[in-house]
Structure 1
Amino acid sequence: MIAVATYYLSQHPSIVAFRWSHTQIWGSTWSFLVTSIALYLIISSFIHLFLCLLIRRGRPVSLGPIPALHSLVMSVVSAVIFAGILLSAAAEIKETRWFWRRYKTPFQWLLCFPLGTRPSGRVFFWSYIFYLYRFLHMFRTIFSIFKTRKLTFFYLFNNSILTIMSFLWLEFSQSFQVLAILFTTLIYAAVYGYRFWTAIGLRGVCFPFVLNCQILLLGCNVVCHIGVLMLHFMKGGCNGIGAWVLNSVLNGIILLLFLKFYVQSRRKNGNGKQTAVHGEIDKNNDL
């Protein structure tokens, strides 16, 4: 079973021969990215307006088992992407280490691609799958609108920017993306598995699980960004550093918005209702 999983996740010819191309890969053009983000914003806004006008204010709309099934699918897909890029990174390190072993350790390679790296091969195949996976994640916003009748700027901005960043990883062969995908899919697998667990009526944990996962993910990203910056200046440069700078700025904005969202939720519910605040963020945080 391990051999079969390794073959289909890292050794299959379609994975090994992958090459990011605007003419051969679906969804790889700037026009597709801009159009899809625009449609996401328009559809979300239209559904929000439609529900506010036609359905009594504050009354949630039941979607039945759809959100729970979505959480299950997201958890499984996250786990598959995590396993795929982990095995693929190990295979790439083993096969190409001769090219860069004088300058980098495997961990340094995960943080800092050598200059001239092209978006082809195993890890970029899984980076492409992760990029497509970001569109599946957008359904969370629709579910939130039906459930709470609210549409926040944070949800729209967060999903849009993360999708754009995933595109930039491929377009510019950006350093750090392997670790970013590993951390993100591992956290997503746990969070969406937990959401499925609670959606089917099973008891949740006694602490803010989703909030803690969000903080852990943000902390890992900050540490890795510092590592990329140090390697760039100490080891002769990292590939895609321009896209990385933009990525860092956007991550910083997301972090500030998240902290603002958390503080506002705490003030709204009162300092004496900490458990309720955590539960509110766990339910509504669009991780």
Structure 2
Amino acid sequence: MVNAATFWLSEHPSIVGFRWSHTQSWGSTWSFLFTSISLYLTLSLLLSAAIRLLRTRPFHLGPLSALHSLSMALISVTIFAGILLSAAAEIRDTRWFWRRSKTPFQWLLCLPLGPRPSGRVFFWSYVFYLSRFLHMFRTFFAIVRRRRLAFSQLFNNSILTFMSFLWLEFSQSFQVLAILSTTLVYSAVYGYRFWTAVGLPSACDFPFVVNCQIVLLGCHVACHVGVLAMHFLKGGCNGIGAWVLNSVLNGVMMLLFLRFYVEKMRLGKRRDIINHGQLRDKET
């Protein structure tokens, strides 16, 4: 079973021979990227406005939300296993070329200068990029349930899709660890959402999901610092220009998340105070 998994996840000819190409890879053009993100934002805003104007009741999605969470959890686990095995295979095959200057962990942070987006690692990076479009459906699920459409959600989904495109387009360093950490966290988050969607007992949804996001952001910050250090100490990292833009966008996402977290904490404290006051009034 281990050999079969290794073959299908890292040694299959389609994976080994993969090449990011604007003519052969679906969704690989700049026009497709900007059109799809614009369409996502437009549909989200229009659907939210239509539901508010019509004042319809929340739609019951039935098992659709649970199936989406289950599929995203399985996809995340597959991508995590695939890129982990593929990175190990790439390190094994190319270590003779760079072993005097880098360790395997440093290779994960800082890709050598000059590689083209082809081979095992970039195949799974491409799969991760495509999976970003499936993540967007969760926004529509939230809208039809009449939940408040948050700007941070639209921004995060759009920017993460844009950044995953940059990883492929510029063979950017940092992407391997970013995909590993992101898919690992998504596996836990979507697995938990599936668990709660089918009616199984759960803790409060907000702390679990938020704590996972905090861990992910902290990991990415540490990786960005590592890439910057490697770039100046080890003779340069590939795709550093795209990495700079990636760092700026990550910084904006972190600020939005911290603002969202603070607001949620304030609302939680206000509810606790109100509930405590109501309980005290009943007792008196």
TM over 0.5: yes
- TM-score computed with the length of structure 2 as normaliser: 0.93
In 2, the alpha carbon distance for the partners of 1:257 and 1:62 equals 30
State percent identity of aligned pairs.
Answer: 71
In 2, the alpha carbon distance for the partners of 1:2 and 1:188 equals 24
The one-letter amino acid of 2:19's match is R
Q: CA deviation at 1:99?
A: 1.3
Q: Which 5+ residue runs of structure 1 have no aligned equivalent? A: 277-287
Q: CA deviation at 1:24?
A: 1.0
State whether structure 2 residue 94 is matched by structure 1 residue 96: yes
In 1, the alpha carbon distance for the partners of 2:74 and 2:269 equals 37
C-alpha distance 91-63 of structure 1, shift in aligned 2 (>3 A): same
Asked if structure 1 preserves the Cα contact closer than 8 Å seen for 2:59 and 2:145, the reply is yes
In 1, the alpha carbon distance for the partners of 2:257 and 2:231 equals 28
C-alpha distance 237-129 of structure 1, shift in aligned 2 (>3 A): same
| Counterpart residue number, 1:204 | 202
| Counterpart residue number, 1:87 | 85
Deviations 1:19-76 (A, max 9, x none): 11111111000000011001101111111111111124xx422111111110000000
In 2, the alpha carbon distance for the partners of 1:81 and 1:95 equals 21
The one-letter amino acid of 2:52's match is C
The one-letter amino acid of 1:262's match is Y
| Counterpart residue number, 2:245 | 246
In 2, the alpha carbon distance for the partners of 1:248 and 1:82 equals 22
- Look at both structures and tell me which one has the larger radius of gyration over its CA atoms: 2
Q: How does 1:50-61 map to 2 (within 5 A)?
A: 50-56=50-56, 59-61=57-59
Aligned counterpart in structure 1 of residue 154 of structure 2, from 151, 156, 169: 156
| Counterpart residue number, 1:226 | 225
The one-letter amino acid of 2:213's match is Q
| Counterpart residue number, 1:49 | 49
The one-letter amino acid of 2:244's match is V
Q: Which 5+ residue runs of structure 2 have no aligned equivalent? A: 276-284
Q: How does 1:268-279 map to 2 (within 5 A)?
A: 268-271=267-270, 273=272
What is the total number of aligned residue pairs between the two structures? Answer: 273
Higher mean C-alpha displacement, 194-203 vs 144-153: 144-153
| Counterpart residue number, 1:280 | none
In 1, the alpha carbon distance for the partners of 2:4 and 2:123 equals 18
Asked if structure 1 preserves the Cα contact closer than 8 Å seen for 2:51 and 2:146, the reply is no
In 2, the alpha carbon distance for the partners of 1:83 and 1:269 equals 37
Hey, which bits of structure 1, 4+ residues long, moved more than 4 A?
Answer: none
Deviations 1:233-260 (A, max 9, x none): 0111000001001001000100000011
Deviations 1:139-175 (A, max 9, x none): 0111111123421211111000000000000000000
Deviations 1:161-210 (A, max 9, x none): 00000000000000010000000000000100000001111011368211
| Counterpart residue number, 1:119 | 117
Aligned counterpart in structure 1 of residue 178 of structure 2, from 167, 172, 180: 180
State whether structure 2 residue 4 is matched by structure 1 residue 20: no
Q: CA deviation at 1:271?
A: 4.8
The one-letter amino acid of 1:126's match is W
| Counterpart residue number, 1:263 | 262
Asked if structure 2 preserves the Cα contact closer than 8 Å seen for 1:48 and 1:149, the reply is no
Higher mean C-alpha displacement, 211-220 vs 140-149: 140-149
Asked if structure 2 preserves the Cα contact closer than 8 Å seen for 1:51 and 1:149, the reply is no
Asked if structure 2 preserves the Cα contact closer than 8 Å seen for 1:68 and 1:196, the reply is yes
Deviations 1:73-94 (A, max 9, x none): 0000000000000000000000
